[in-house]
């Protein structure tokens, strides 16, 4: 079993505040990550931190780009156990998107239509929640089958088995450090241990 991470964020940008106003949701953006440090975090969003309308597939980082510019970004980080096969499928799908970035566009029209409960799907075009749902569904994660067709970031909280790992400011996020069983044994014997 492996973990995939679903990251809900609200940056406080003008666009995110408009989305929040219409959806009444706490969070206006969602990303997917393949590692607990969120170094492999992906979504559809801004290519330039200063231009909300120029977007596509993005490799997001906590201390770079949009999240660096908007230091007060609020987040909830969730984990979901998936099989090794589902994890590898997700990795391959994301790698494909990364290798073919030029084919994809940001579905700004689809995002705007979410507020009026209309679905507009354009070829090779996604907004953040569409992308995360696509990756999970194409990876065989059946828990997403019950999510709404007109998907919003907050809808991912409905996934069965989702576990909240962190809530607070994104820039203060640190992965939790867990003790391995081997470490517990060594701790009992008084040996120095390292966290993973």
Checking if the pLDDT of 37 tops 60, the result is: yes
> pLDDT value at position 107?
87
Query: What is the per-residue pLDDT for 194?
Result: 44
Structure tokens at 96: 């494909």
Say how many residues make up the chain.
196
Q: Which residue has the higher pLDDT, 17 or 8?
A: 8
Which pLDDT score is estimated for 195?
A: 42
Q: Where are the alpha helices (DSSP H) in 24-56?
A: none
Mean pLDDT to the nearest integer, 24-38: 93
> What is the reported pLDDT for 190?
55
- For the chain, the average pLDDT equals 86
Average pLDDT over residues 102-116: 82
Does position 18 have pLDDT exceeding 80, yes or no?
no
pLDDT at 48: 80
Do 84 and 2 contact (CB within 8 A), yes or no? yes
Q: What is the pTM of this model?
A: 0.84
**Could you tell me where the DSSP H helices lie in the chain?**
14-23, 65-69, 84-99, 108-114, 128-138, 181-188
Distance CA(117)–CA(97), nearest Å, equals: 27
Q: Is the confidence at residue 187, as pLDDT, over 80?
A: no
Q: What pLDDT sits at residue 174?
A: 83
Q: Tell me: pLDDT of 168 over 50.
A: yes
| Region 87-99 average pLDDT | 98
Q: For residue 26, which phi and psi values (nearest 5 degrees)?
A: -75, -35
Domain 2-188, architecture per CATH = Alpha-Beta Complex (3.90)
Task: Please compute the mean of the pLDDT values over residues 135-146 and round it to a whole number.
Answer: 94
Q: What is the pLDDT of residue 20?
A: 73
Mean pLDDT in residue range 12-35: 84
**Cα 98 from Cα 117, distance rounded (Å):** 30
Helix 128-138 / helix 84-99 crossing angle, nearest 10 deg: 130
pLDDT of residue 196: 41
Task: Say which DSSP state 123 is in.
Answer: T
pLDDT the model gives residue 188: 56
**CA 103 – CA 42 distance, rounded (Å):** 16
Q: How confident is the model at residue 104 (pLDDT cuts 50, 70, 90)?
A: very high
Q: Number of C-alpha atoms within 13 angstroms, CB side, residue 166?
A: 21
Q: For position 23, what pLDDT does the model report?
A: 72
């Amino acid at each position: 079993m492996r973990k995939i991470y679903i990251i809900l964020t609200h940056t406080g940008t003008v666009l995110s505040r408009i989305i929040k106003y219409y959806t009444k949701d706490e969070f206006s953006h969602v990303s997917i990550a393949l590692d607990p440090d969120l170094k492999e975090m992906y979504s559809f969003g801004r290519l330039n931190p200063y231009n909300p309308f120029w977007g596509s597939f993005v490799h997001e980082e906590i201390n770079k780009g949009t999240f660096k510019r908007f230091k007060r970004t609020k987040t909830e980080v969730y984990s979901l156990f998936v099989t090794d096969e589902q994890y590898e499928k997700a990795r391959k799908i994301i790698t494909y998107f990364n290798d073919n970035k030029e084919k994809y566009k940001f579905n700004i029209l689809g995002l705007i239509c979410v507020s009026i409960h209309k679905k507009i799907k354009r070829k090779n075009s996604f907004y953040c929640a569409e992308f995360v749902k696509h990756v999970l569904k194409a990876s065989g994660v059946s828990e997403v089958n019950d999510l709404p067709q007109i998907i919003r970031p907050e809808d991912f909280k409905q996934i069965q088995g989702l576990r909240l790992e962190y809530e607070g400011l994104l820039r203060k996020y640190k992965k939790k450090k867990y003790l391995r069983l081997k470490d517990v044994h060594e701790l009992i014997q008084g040996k120095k241990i390292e966290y993973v």
